[in-house]
Structure 1
Amino acid sequence: MGLNFIDLFAGAGGLSEGFMKKGYKPIAHVEMDKYASQTLRTRAVYWELVTSGRTNLYYDYLKGLMSREELYSYLPSDHSDIVINKEISEETIDSIFETIDTNMKLLGETKIDLIIGGPPCQAYSLVGRARDPFRKENDPRNYLYKQYIKFLDKYKPEMFVFENVPGIRTAGNGAFFQAMTDDMHALNYELDSDVIDASHHGVLQQRKRVILIGWKKGLNMKFPDLELEKNYYKVSDILDDLPSLQAGESLDRCLYTKEASEYAIKSGIRTMDFVTQHITRPHNERDKEIYRLVIEAWEREGTRLKYTDLPEELRTHKNLKSFLDRFKVVAGDTSYCHTMVAHISKDGHYYIHPDKQQLRSLSVREAARIQSFPDNFYFEGPRTAVFTQIGNAVPPILAEKIAEGISHLFLSRITN
């Protein structure tokens, strides 16, 4: 069918990945972060090489046989500005429009079918508001939805997908969500939204997100049908085939240590015969002792240790009343992991590997797998920046289900 899309506030491209896997054609990814933009560009080259049957060149890059500059030389001239590394603001929006217009002409597109994306979610996060005495009401990111709406007004797509955290519904006592949907209605769009849990759709992570779908009035569309998927797998299915590492050790390119699990194959996560970015952060001896206690408590009783349960000599924080679950094991024997967030870039305490012999937090690749990124998805930038990209992402498997549902809506509209 060849539907095209623009991805706004694209991050590392988790949402785009799902849509491109279903055959959607990107016109532009707009992202302000330098490293996330590099990740988007690297992935854009991957999809270009898939189309031309030359993925061996991409894998040469992953193996370290090719520089990033050489890899980027395989991006055709009509895709050279497909990643727009700019903040979306009053000062930049016109230049972003100009680049997208040029991309459309180069790609032979006369209209935009779909706009996807969502503003940075920290402004609507319930945790973020709890830490802010003003409850984020003064956060300028609350109003980034207005920039999203300007793209709707400019390109008038048939449909759009707006993704964000559940807290967007209650931010400002609900005023922000109401104002946003009122503005969307004013542009002649019908709307429907739902809170979707990724663990119900093939992702081994409990991750709830508001998915708001809009379509032009008169199109006889609806919220896409997202069939629930029963989970027969465990988190260990995406951890156990990776090499053991100690805290601070890294294997940027290595072989798997076990055959792929059924889930790793079925989900499309294990996509090649080697793995990259199995990179860990260092931990001090005190943290490793805490990790040991946290893992043992889970192994012994299936319980989560609170900060106040730790021996006094291991505590360094005076706050003994809030955020008591700051140390948490990613239990391999459960059906899904707790929600992956960008804070994993700070310390990793909330994402402890379940193996007591390793005593570390998750590696970059393990975190990416929990977010359902395929192993051939390469994240650019230093470790902290990569963890941030992963924590902020939409799980590609969930994005793929949304893309598939929207494809069916477009197809039924054509056939009817």
Structure 2
Amino acid sequence: MANHGIAISLFAGAGGLDRGTEDAGYEVRAAVEWDRDAAATMEKNFDHLRSPVIQGDIMGVPTEQILAAAGLAEDERPDLLIGGPPCTPFSKSGFWLEWKREGLDPTASLLQAYTRVLREARPRRFVLENVYALTYNNKASRPAYERLMREIDEAGYHCTAKVLNAADYGVPQARPRLFVLGVPKSDLLPRHPEPSHGGRWERRTVGNSERPHKTAGEALEGLITEPEPSETVGGKYGHLLPGIPPGDNYLFYTERRGHPDPQFRWRSKYWSFLLKLSPDRPAPTIQAQPGPYIGPFHWDNRRLRVGELKRLFTFPDDFEFVGSRNSVQAQIGNCVPPLLAKRVILALHGEAEQPLL
């Protein structure tokens, strides 16, 4: 793998985007992440960091501090800037909150923290990742997206934006995310990677039909994990989980589906309520902070274990997460799958990788 140079990482989280960046040939030399556990995870797994992860509110972290942490002099520029500003105001799952639909979430300004570093650090390339709902035409998303594009232009860059589904790139999880790829206006605009896999997603066929999506069953095959204390699903609805077929959800227990003892009205719950993995399909999107009955659950009628989550996100088995079980769930659920990140970064250089079937 070619050495593409020095990368700096904003909103690093536990390092999913960073792991893919290093797998594609960069060295992540500096990272900014306010969460203590995620920062500790980064420090435990990344050998090229020149300084400890900068922990703090990025709104108050000067660009000069980030560059110095990477070992760059005042007249040096990084080769790559990466980052995924938190998606709170644009998350599809949060649009039931009126104040989010109205665009009043103050964390939207974190996009401006990214463009500020972009403008001041002058990287040779950049990748910005976010939820695909950022492109929605509503009061919260559209103004923020248009401002983001304007600030990228004013910083001296042009860019291309596209929603990529992780499953189309060999990840055993259907996870659509927005990727903005950019370079200075004097350089040739890069392309997003072409899908390497394909199959059914949301009632349509997507991706590359010559290679089927990697399934959850294939990803977890041969994995040995120890039981976790919190994996049992109890409470008011836990007893219903064993009756649900793999790949189905609470709608199994509705009158419309012909259940003899209906427990729910049709479409009365969020789609992932009592959702169970199918071993024959990619996992659905895994959330960072699922409620007690929000899946996907394992087809063995329990919560997914950490080792299984790592496999479904394409983290190496030996990648170590720091923190409580809830913290680890949040760290993994907020990550970009490293395999998808690697393919995006390679595309910046016109390179391609053909993942194994």
Q: How many residues align?
A: 331
* Between structures 1 and 2, the one with greater helix share: 1
The residue that corresponds to 1:204 in the other structure is 172
* Residues 170 and 214, structure 2, Cα contact 8 Å, conserved in 1: no
Matched, 1:169 2:151: no
Which one has a bigger Cα radius of gyration? 1
Shift of 1:244: 6.8
Aligned partner of 1:79 among 50, 74, 77: 50
1:200 deviates by: 0.7
- Are 1:185 and 2:153 matched, yes or no? yes
Residues 1:149 and 1:324: Cα distance change in structure 2 (over 3 Å)? closer
Alignment of 1:51-130 (within 5 A): 79-81=50-52, 83-89=53-59, 92-94=60-62, 97-105=64-72, 110-130=76-96
Write the deviation string for residues 185-241 of structure 1: whole angstroms up to 9, x where unpaired: 111111111111111101011111111111101112322443433236431122242
Structure 1 residues 340, 136: CA separation in 2 closer, same or farther (over 3 Å shift)?
Answer: farther
Output the TM-score relative to the length of structure 2.
Answer: 0.83
Amino acid at match of 1:331: S
1:274-313 superposed matches below 5 A: 280-284=230-234, 286-295=236-245, 298=246, 303-306=248-251, 309=254
Unaligned runs of at least 5 residues, structure 1: 49-77, 251-278, 410-416
Gaps of 5+ in 2: 198-210, 352-357
Give the 3 Å change call, closer, same or farther, for CA 388–192 of structure 1 in structure 2. same
Please report how far the alpha carbon of residue 129 of structure 1 lies from its aligned counterpart in structure 2 after TM superposition.
Answer: 1.4
Change (3 A) 1:102 1:330: closer
Q: 1:376 aligns with which of 300, 314, 318?
A: 318
Alpha-carbon separation, structure 2, partners of 1:19 and 1:158: 15
Q: Deviations over 1:284-318 (max 9, x none)?
A: 265442111223xx4xxx65432862999996x99
Residue number in structure 1 paired with 2:285 = 339
* Counterpart residue type for residue 164 of structure 2: I
Distance 1:215 1:288 in 2: 50
Which of these residues, 188, 210, 214, is aligned with residue 220 of structure 1? 188
SS at match of 1:79: coil
Question: Who is 2:338 aligned against?
Answer: 396
For residue 272 of structure 1, what is the aligned residue in structure 2?
Answer: none
Letter matched to residue 330 of structure 2: T
Task: Quote how far apart the aligned CAs of 1:123 are.
Answer: 1.6
- How far apart are the structure 1 equivalents of 2:99 and 2:266? 17
**1:10 pairs with one of 5, 9, 12:** 12
Query: Could you tell me which of 137, 143, 159 is aligned with 2:109?
Result: 143
Which residue of the other structure, out of 212, 218, 221, is the alignment partner of 1:231?
A: 212
**Per-residue deviation, 1:132:** 3.6
State the secondary structure of the residue aligned to 2:30: strand
Alpha-carbon distance in structure 2 between the residues aligned to 1:84 and 1:379: 18
SS in 1 for 2:244: helix
Structure 1 residues 343-372: Cα deviation after superposition (integer angstroms, max 9, x where no partner):
33x4263121112xxx31111111121111
Q: Is the 8 A contact 1:307 1:320 kept in 2?
A: no
TM-score by length of 1: 0.72
Aligned to 1:59: none
- What SS is found at the alignment partner of 2:82? strand
Secondary structure at 1:210 match in 2:
strand
Amino acid at match of 2:254: D
Q: Deviations over 1:79-128 (max 9, x none)?
A: 233x1111211xx222x63253253248x992211111121112211221
Contact kept? 1:188, 1:217, Cα under 8 Å = yes
Does the 8 Å contact 2:15/2:42 carry over to 1? yes
% of aligned pairs identical?
A: 25
Please give the secondary structure, in 2, of the residue aligned with 1:144: helix
Tell me, in whole angstroms, the C-alpha distance in 1 between the residues paired with 2:271 and 2:77.
51
Question: What secondary structure, in the 3-state scheme, does the structure 1 residue paired with 2:284 have?
Answer: coil
Partner of 2:355: none
CA distance in 1, matches of 2:99, 2:50: 45
Instruction: Check the 8 A contact 2:159/2:189 in 1, yes or no.
Output: no
Matched, 1:387 2:329: yes
**Match of 2:207?**
none
Q: Distance in 1 between matches of 2:67 and 2:297?
A: 42
Q: Secondary structure at the match of 1:343?
A: coil
Aligned to 1:266: none
In structure 2, the residue matched to 1:35 is: 37
